[in-house]
Amino acid sequence: MDLETMNEQMLSPASGKILWIGADERGQKTITIFMHIHNVHVTTAPLNCVVKKITPKKGKFKPAFLRSSDFNMKNTIELSTKYGDINVAQIAGFFTRKILCDVKAGQKLSKGERMGKICFGSRVDVTVPEGFKIKVKEGDRVRYKNSVIAVSTAE
């Protein structure tokens, strides 16, 4: 196994506060990041990847720090990585009425490259691939492109 794989770090795709760490509806490990109105609302690629699919979904506009915001307007970006597929969901908040997606299906992205922006307070959910250990805990503050949220456990 190469050194890059052994030391792979998954970066936070957004700046904000870790609200929840758990599993999504498919059982995948998921980290939820709440972006306060004063955070930068850019979303970036957490790993080197290729954009597989983008799925916009209409929904409500509940405050993004509430669990009921799972049903808010969202844009799910499915990414193919060498570790498997992951999702980055851009979720609108109470004030948000616009999600900007700057990528297209088939586009290659480098870790930390911009994927889009959510206007005002909102949240981002990111799934963590198998073989990665989550390095953050609920309540931690993270910064997009800088904070390591998970590390490969491959030996």
The one catalytic residue in 69, 122, 147, 152 is 122
Answer yes or no: are the C-beta atoms of 83 and 152 closer than 8 Å. Answer: yes
What pLDDT, on the 0 to 100 scale, is given for residue 155?
57
What pLDDT, on the 0 to 100 scale, is given for residue 1?
39
Tell me whether residue 122 is one of the annotated catalytic residues: yes
| C-alpha count within 13 angstroms, C-beta hemisphere, residue 58 | 0
What pLDDT, on the 0 to 100 scale, is given for residue 147?
97
- The CB density around residue 57, as the number of other CB atoms within 10 Å, is 12
**Domains in the chain, please, with CATH?**
3-139 (2.70.70.10)
Answer yes or no: are the C-beta atoms of 121 and 93 closer than 8 Å. Answer: yes
Question: Which position has the token pair 């799934």?
Answer: 127
Query: What is the rounded CA–CA span in Å between residue 70 and residue 62?
Result: 9
Residues of the chain with pLDDT under 50: 1-5
Answer yes or no: are the C-beta atoms of 143 and 102 closer than 8 Å. Answer: no
